[in-house]
A and B are shown apart, each in its own frame.
Chain A
């Protein structure tokens, strides 16, 4: 007789992450000044890999095919929860590996890893949230450690300033989100997402509900670094330690989208709400403005890290297409495409920021010119960076090509060809600034001598793993696509 796991075990990825955080705190309290970086990083990597392993196992075993409701329906584990748990856990693993070298000689080692794990825990809870209360709590659980992580280089003015900015805008957005939730609760009388959906036709409260929906949208826009709540993003990404920038711009952003997807499809289903509250139009405007603004700003930057930060805003715009093209009758396809893009983005964008981490580790400099001729010194890492850049731009033969294509094809299929057109034009524009990096690394002559003595094993391992994943995601696109489709199907089918 097969042993049946208890229902709460479906949360295994989250539980493993929180347990890892606790183990790290334990290690830190036994030996507060621990310099044993290998132990700390090792525990984090093992924890996040185990979480990713659980997610993959459950996905393959079909655990999420029938949604599992937990704790009075406030949490739900379905394919989407597991799909995103895999994204967050794998990004966390990459970030942990890379931090081993990056955080050398910094204080607060134990706290650093524990905070990363806690933030990851919050992220894995976000797609599982089935109640607006859990939405708020999990969003805060991932945000609060992030504020501290951005500012963890306490002696670095940029880091502290970025942390403060992030925190202030984060606090503002949280209050907007909380206010929005309270309005929705007032109009619908429930915090559970499926029950909120029933409030659509409430007479006389449409206005209250509508403002609530828009404010919740604003809260998510902050988390996903979408316009107009994106101001923190370039500052925070630039000031934060580079692995944390990777973490925030890939995992944290995907988490914001994950929770937005669930809330907006389950609590505010298009067909019930479109008549009274046209939030799809708001998201469409948001998507177009976000990708255009992000891309144009990225094209005008002088430093590579800031360019990546703004391009990350642009990618938030692409991912928003998943929500913006709902109501077009192609919901499952386009939502799945959005999720797929977030997964691919998780690897390629993390890899790109980790390459920045490597450059910072070598003190190469920040501007494009500083990267000139880097390929002569570190060809292998530069191949990986080239892979990330071209994949982010959406060129074949990398994973980003198909995920972008499906995203745009989904929008066209839903009848929003203009969304796809704006996306495609932006995508073409993005090739300009991405290829600037490639050009600097490979083609330009070095402007000064590099001092590259060591090749940090951890950073290299993480970058290579991300590059291999980015390349393999093209031939391995089929399973990812299928899981994303079934994840989307759980929400909209």
Chain B
């Protein structure tokens, strides 16, 4: 019942905040968001599970599986549960939401109760995505994310917010349709043996090779078509180049807290779903097309980084670097080794924290200077030392400096990808070169904005940021370092869930 309680409490909080007066909404929302936060940390501390949620022989934490609707031969169940992949992402969601709410106090100055209500609604939907194990329940939560996101960007965003919000909505909604068709075709293709949309049942049947024909379409074609449909559906969310164009627009126009949620958690929905659906259910198709997918991954890494290098807006730099970082996740997934899959999942958490940190830092700088243009500012370090220190720490995390979370994640991914499939050495080497570009643009940006003579072209007084603006940054830096120093906090759990996917692993690294 704990997962249900977690979602219900968050939804109830959202409703309460929505009805609260604007003046108290921010503080109330933050206070209420501590409930799911403490809840998820408690769940984490008492977490007892083993194996992968979709494979047989695993025990799940906090699992519920009851019948929901029986429709003809098919049944839909309310099935939720956590394994080592879901648990870290749920924890990430609750941590980032609370911090993002704290970071909203300064920038959000109108219609607060609606804003905070929607943020909590978003949190509830995200928890649902990472816990649901029945396709229909999962899809409901998956789409539920879009509604608050659309309004959050469209109302509180920058000057081109309407365009960005609608673009995001249209892109991701069409993507959802594609993945829906892909998955449902698979279930129908399984024929009479599987009459449920339960993800574990479907995954096990697919892995056992029970897929039959669907009308005139043979099993191999069906498999490939469904894989492509789902891959496109999820790739838009990740986003993978060339499906990424909605993301920079959405990021740049979204208010800071929404960017934090977007980069920190929403993008993980895409990679999480890729892992759960494409790579868990149809591993053979993934491996047959490993090179092709790896091209997508490497292009995302390099092209995203190059685009970031070309930007002059701090927020755009961070936004494009997300494209690049998520490319690493795809590379880890396609490697399909214990290190690759584990590293990819670890990178989801690590990137969630680091990108959240970076967006928050850019937001704080923007709140103070009212500009995000690299050319408009220099020498911020002398005026707002703590913010700048944290920004630097975050950037180091992005570059993958040792003892930071990003290092562990990227190391695992490269270890896992190296030699995993034909040509993987070349792909891995190319992706590794991405780190150099990342370091390049981050160092360049920092050198121009943070150091040197102080000068900002703005009419606003530049000074240290408020405590509630800096505090979440510091918390995030600590978390990033903690994960970097002791990756096992999450990595053992992740390995435990990922190992059963790889036949030759035999459990344990």
Chain A interface residues toward B at CB < 8 A: 330, 332-333, 375-376, 379-380, 383, 386, 390, 395-397, 401-402, 406, 409-410, 413, 428, 431, 435, 438-439, 442-444, 474-475, 477-478, 481-482
Contacts and interface: CB of A to CB of B under 8 A. Distances in A.
B71 A406 contact: yes
Interface string B151-169: 1001100000110011001
Interface string B139-158: 11111101100110011000
- Nearest first, the 6 A-B pairs at minimum CB distance are A443-B154, A396-B140, A396-B143, A333-B72, A397-B144, A397-B140
B30 interface: no
8 contacts: A333-B71, A380-B19, A390-B147, A395-B146, A409-B74, A435-B169, A442-B155, A444-B162
Contacts of A477: 68-69
B169 A443 contact: no
Q: Which of B136, B143, B151, B177 has the most CB of A within 10 A?
A: B151
B69 A443 contact: no
A413 B72 contact: yes
Contact of A442 (B125, B141, B154, B177): B154
B165 A443 contact: yes
A474 B141 CA distance: 12
A403 to B, nearest CB: 11
B207 interface: no
B interface bracket (residues with beta carbon within 8 Å of A): 20 to 34
Nearest to B153: A443
Contacts of B136: 402
Interface in B19-33: 19
Q: Which of A330, A332, A435 has the most CB of B within 10 A?
A: A435
Interface in B52-74: 67-72, 74
B246 interface: no
B18 interface: yes
Given A395-B143, A397-B143, A439-B154, A376 B72 contact: no
A430 to B, nearest CB: 12
Given A396-B144, A397-B144, A439 B166 contact: yes
Contacts of B113: 379
B69 A402 contact: yes
A475 B136 CA distance: 11
Given A428-B177, A435-B169, A439-B162, A379 B114 contact: yes
Contact of A401 (B140, B147, B177): B140
A425 B125 CA distance: 26
Contacts of A383: 18
A402 B141 CA distance: 13
Contacts of A395: 143, 146-147, 173
B74 to A, nearest CB: 8
B383 interface: no
Contacts of B155: 375, 442-443
Q: Which of A330, A376, A406, A443 has the most CB of B within 10 A?
A: A443
Contact of B140 (A332, A438, A444, A474): A474
A431 B150 CA distance: 14
Given A386-B147, A401-B143, 15 more contacts: A330-B72, A333-B71, A396-B139, A397-B125, A402-B69, A409-B74, A413-B72, A435-B169, A438-B151, A439-B162, A439-B166, A442-B151, A443-B154, A443-B161, A444-B162
B114 A375 contact: yes
Q: Which of B150, B161, B162, B177 has the most CB of A within 10 A?
A: B150
Nearest to A432: B170
Contacts of B150: 438
A319 B161 CA distance: 37
Contacts of A406: 71
Contacts of A413: 72
Contacts of B74: 409
B468 interface: no
A478 B67 contact: yes
Given A396-B144, A443-B161, A409 B139 contact: no
Contacts of B177: 428
A478 B144 contact: no
A474 B136 CA distance: 11
Q: Which of B144, B147, B166 has the most CB of A within 10 A?
A: B147
Contacts of A386: 147
Interface in B124-148: 125, 136, 139-144, 146-147
Contacts of B154: 439, 442-443
B71 A481 contact: yes
Contacts of A390: 147
A477 B19 CA distance: 28
Given A474-B140, A477-B68, A478-B69, A443 B173 contact: no
Nearest to A390: B147
Given A386-B147, A396-B144, A442-B154, A376 B111 contact: yes
A484 B18 CA distance: 35
Contacts of A409: 71, 74
A396 B138 CA distance: 10
Contacts of A397: 125, 140-141, 143-144
Q: Which of B18, B69, B141, B143 has the most CB of A within 10 A?
A: B69
B149 to A, nearest CB: 12
A396 B69 CA distance: 15
Nearest to B174: A428
B165 A478 contact: no
B114 to A, nearest CB: 5
A402 B162 CA distance: 29
A78 B139 CA distance: 35
A379 B18 contact: yes
B169 to A, nearest CB: 7
Contacts of A375: 114, 155
Q: Which of B67, B113, B155 has the most CB of A within 10 A?
A: B155
A386 B121 CA distance: 14
A70 B373 CA distance: 80
Contacts of A474: 140
B432 to A, nearest CB: 40
A409 B136 CA distance: 13
A443 B151 contact: yes
Contacts of B166: 439
A478 B70 contact: yes
Contacts of A396: 139-144
A409 B111 CA distance: 41
B147 A481 contact: no
A330 B155 CA distance: 46
Contacts of B144: 396-397
Nearest to A428: B177
A386 B154 CA distance: 14
A383 B148 CA distance: 11
Contacts of A444: 162
A380 B74 CA distance: 37
Contacts of B147: 386, 390, 395
A295 to B, nearest CB: 16
Contact of A443 (B18, B142, B162): B162
A182 B135 CA distance: 51
A442 B147 CA distance: 11
A390 B165 CA distance: 16
Contacts of B72: 330, 332-333, 410, 413
A376 B70 CA distance: 41
A431 B173 contact: yes
Contacts of B18: 379-380, 383
A396 B68 CA distance: 16
Contacts of A333: 71-72
Nearest to B144: A397
B284 to A, nearest CB: 27
Contacts of A431: 173
Contacts of B142: 396
A27 to B, nearest CB: 37
Contacts of B69: 402, 477-478, 481
Contacts of A443: 151, 154-155, 161-162, 165
